[in-house]
Amino acid sequence: MSTIFILTPIIIAGWPSIVAAAAGAAAALGLSVGQMGYEETKELLTEAQKQGMTTAEVEIAESRVLAKGIGSQQIVVRKGNVELRVTRDARGRCMVCATGKGKSKAELTEMAETFANKVTQVYTYNKIMNELHAKGMKIANEEVMPDQSIRINVRNEEN
Q: What is the pLDDT of residues 89-100, one digit of tens each?
A: 777 778 888 988
Instruction: Give pLDDT, residue 38.
Output: 46
Instruction: Give yes or no for residue 101 having a pLDDT over 80.
Output: yes
Q: Where are the domains of the chain?
A: 11-156
Please give the single-letter amino acid code of residue 85: R
More confident residue, 45 or 54: 54
Instruction: Give yes or no for residue 15 having a pLDDT over 80.
Output: no
State the pairing for strand pair 11-13/63-65.
parallel
Instruction: Give yes or no for residue 70 having a pLDDT over 70.
Output: no
Spell out a b/e string for 5-38, using b for 16 or more CB atoms within 10 Å of the CB, else e: eeeeeebebebebbbbbbbbbbeeeebeeeebee
Instruction: Quote the pTM value.
Output: 0.71
> Which residues contact residue 95 at a Cβ distance below 8 angstroms, ignoring those fewer than 6 apart?
57, 58, 59, 60, 86, 87, 88, 89
